Structure 1
């Protein structure tokens, strides 16, 4: 009898255990785990300067360009294929990232405009929620120099664009001069990983690494110098589109078969190239007179790619530190460019305009549970969406003054109502008058570009058939209804967001105001 009772008791215990395991498997947690609040996620935001959207190894744009860390982020995480900025210029774009607002809202419309006192940067909200925050690198907004800014517990920056070698850093208010050929990308990476290792385990952190690279004048790390020199360059098919008999192309561009091809290719609508594009070719931002003729195109191209290599190594170092610290399962890493960069497209270099290579930027996101199995995210994400996304990751409700929206649900493969348009604005600068004020909207494969106050032709492209923007369809009769609709969408956006008045700013500064070459 006693043995039978013991057997029954054992069976009962086994059944209870089996039931408990079944519940755990069915719901993915047990009661004790269910009562624990989720641990706040750390966020690392890495921003580079002038990195165009397609100069990464995995895109295949430059066959010999090696970016293993970026490739790994894209494979293991999410590559946002259609990431764009709202203004392709350093200061306005960076202000939009930090505020979640369009340039005409935050009023940092150029590289000189002072920062309005009423601006709120999203790290301020993170601090209030208990996050430790840090900033490393280029600030470059509102002529604020290198002074510590609100929203950051730890601060390391430099004045203006800074320098690639032997930088002077402002570290929490104290200036430190580095020597012995110290390379800025490596230095910022070292300081960032050290700070990360010093953070308490019971507090989440937000770390903003803002690299100088790959801004001109491009200077690779010593270990990368001349790594790519001599490699074949795949010149863009539009590089000679605006060439004339007087054009003096630098380097091997003049030997390219593209020049002969242009005259016979019916895909080119040469007569509807805006006049400002023709004029800019032989200017500071054109391939015929690059930076006042100080550099040849091929060297320019190679140095850009070589300077990118240290950026890629920085990503690898930061990821390695995250793994070694044991926080990989609770850390999101976001990599982004502040604007794109033309490398000869339309006969131009630099950014500012709304062409693909200028408006689109790299955006890679890695975090546990947010992989798309190597498939890119196709929705349009803009710089104004970074702030609300990081805030949602931290469990913070989006403030009403933020105009972007969180794309965290898209990273989690959730079905959400998402925008189908990307708006763009750039305001004419006194120091760089070659590029006019530019407003525009892209929707799906269609792009409309408008130049207010300029006696010049507007632009309309069907990117599905014309990804290189060779054929301006603005005067084409068949596209007039679509152009009219998109023009109305542009004005509606400006009206609804308070952007119908161009925010002019008094300008007295000139190029080289900080005493450094290549300030802009």
Structure 2
């Protein structure tokens, strides 16, 4: 039949036109095949949004490969997570759902059996899929998960040196000063080389770095020794009663003296400058990993038909409000680095200022596969934003965090953020709510909640918050089954 069609075209159009028609058919075929883009998703742990070379937040920090992604791709300037904590954020990425929907609300919550991960849809669409690195849903569970043809992971947070990997159900112990970031990158690149070349692919590279306690690769250890760190303007506010005049909650002051505060960070008296130096040194192997992935794509002519996404699972405070760690809804905690590279879809050097969230990752990757997102996913594909298209987009994001038994310093928090304002409500404390003007006060220093001029705005944002919770069935805190110890304490079953 195809030969008859070609003969008809030849007789109808003549030799020259026939060649042109064949070229056009080939181009259309190539275009159709290009609808199924390959995708590489690179996730880091606790990497805050502005600790990248090109942001100039840290003048001495050099990240040439992340800078390259921004230069040749797109920088999503306002990217946020829905819950600033490892497991809930990762579950939102994989399911496209909010924490109160998928119910993985803390780092030890067991993984519900009925969850659907977006790579399952990719498999059905003919993709070859793989996972490398930190999974961290179900603290003591490294078994292969649905949606992935190839699997490599480790228990919980894992370790930086000499890790044990569960590779497709078989546990392998590595020795001889094996560094986890390098190992995962080696295996990811090796999988790209050995994969079925006839299928489109999805690769999920999930680094342990730069989670505390940070340990840089030996080649980067000491690279930033004695480099200065300019303490945030809010660093000292909670040392005195000045925080009261600024309207800050009491729990923020009290947290300063916990292991989430700058004075007792991780139960240590190490200077914060040293923490920051080691954190940045640990980031260097991650930057190198990104470069290796980009180089492999280019060397194998895959760069034009592959989307690469880089993001952090949550941000991290380095002294702001006297805090260390994440969990809260302040910018440095909820905002994450987000870079996208895909020459097939858009030119390089783009900066996107619209607010995106981790629930947008799944819809975007599904669109790369030519698939429509399921109706239950609240996020949107951000591909139109990369292409500078005028599309209807959100004008606010929502946040949730649930109090943890083992980390009682931070209360349950709900919040809403627009381009201009942020509203924070805390539960379980005799304390104040918070309202900040992000344009005039980007460091979130002056709480406006008691100012009568903002009473109507508070009412509006409160309504927006509860409308969101009602619409998404989040009006009740998702509980997890607990068991009682002989001592009388309660713990999640999978803590033992």
For 1:93, the equivalent position in structure 2 comes to: 89
Question: Is residue 2:332 matched to residue 1:336?
Answer: no
Question: Is residue 2:374 matched to residue 1:395?
Answer: no
Secondary structure of 2:284's counterpart equals helix
Secondary structure of 1:339's counterpart equals coil
Secondary structure of 2:239's counterpart equals coil
TM-score normalised by structure 1 residue count: 0.88
Segments of 4+ in structure 1 off by > 6 A? 18-21
For 2:330, the equivalent position in structure 1 comes to: 355
1:73-112 alignment runs, 5 A limit = 73-112=69-108
Residue 436 of structure 2, aligned match among 448, 461, 475: 461
For 1:38, the equivalent position in structure 2 comes to: 33
Deviations 1:435-469 (A, max 9, x none): 00000000111100001232101110111011111
CA distance in 1, matches of 2:481, 2:305: 46
CA distance in 2, matches of 1:310, 1:348: 26
Secondary structure of 1:272's counterpart equals coil
For 1:4, the equivalent position in structure 2 comes to: none
Question: Is residue 2:163 matched to residue 1:188?
Answer: no
CA distance in 2, matches of 1:284, 1:184: 26
For 1:385, the equivalent position in structure 2 comes to: 360
For 2:403, the equivalent position in structure 1 comes to: 428
Contact 2:350 2:386 in 1 (8 A): no
Deviations 1:373-401 (A, max 9, x none): 42410111000000010001101121122
For 1:440, the equivalent position in structure 2 comes to: 415
How big is the shift at 1:270? 3.4
Deviations 1:26-67 (A, max 9, x none): xxx723422553232110000000000000000000000000
For 2:219, the equivalent position in structure 1 comes to: 223
User: How many residue pairs are counted as aligned between the two chains?
Assistant: 474
For 1:253, the equivalent position in structure 2 comes to: none
Structure 1: give runs of 5+ residues left out of the alignment. Answer: 1-14, 246-262, 515-520
Contact 2:87 2:137 in 1 (8 A): yes
How big is the shift at 1:18? 9.2
Deviations 1:119-146 (A, max 9, x none): 0000000001110000000000023521
Residue 280 of structure 1, aligned match among 245, 255, 269: 255
For 1:132, the equivalent position in structure 2 comes to: 128
Secondary structure of 2:374's counterpart equals coil
Secondary structure of 2:275's counterpart equals helix
> What's the Cα RMSD here?
2.1
Deviations 1:407-456 (A, max 9, x none): 11111222111111110000000000000000000011110000123210
Structure 2: give runs of 5+ residues left out of the alignment. Answer: 1-13, 483-489
| CA gap 1:225/1:170 in 2 versus in 1, 3 angstroms | same
How big is the shift at 1:73? 0.4
Contact 1:98 1:121 in 2 (8 A): yes
Contact 1:421 1:443 in 2 (8 A): yes
Contact 2:363 2:373 in 1 (8 A): yes
| CA gap 1:371/1:61 in 2 versus in 1, 3 angstroms | farther
How big is the shift at 1:226? 0.9
| CA gap 1:372/1:490 in 2 versus in 1, 3 angstroms | farther
How big is the shift at 1:509? 4.6
TM-score normalised by structure 2 residue count: 0.92
Deviations 1:63-87 (A, max 9, x none): 0000000001011111100000000
Contact 1:369 1:412 in 2 (8 A): no
How big is the shift at 1:244? 3.8
How big is the shift at 1:114? 1.0
Question: Is residue 2:187 matched to residue 1:212?
Answer: no
Contact 1:290 1:296 in 2 (8 A): no
For 1:254, the equivalent position in structure 2 comes to: none
How big is the shift at 1:269? 6.7
Secondary structure of 2:237's counterpart equals coil
Deviations 1:461-495 (A, max 9, x none): 11101111111111111111111101100000000
Report the structure number with the largest CA radius of gyration: 1
Residue 45 of structure 2, aligned match among 45, 49, 53: 49
Question: Is residue 2:480 matched to residue 1:505?
Answer: yes
Residue 455 of structure 2, aligned match among 471, 477, 480: 480
For 2:486, the equivalent position in structure 1 comes to: none
For 1:6, the equivalent position in structure 2 comes to: none
For 1:313, the equivalent position in structure 2 comes to: 288
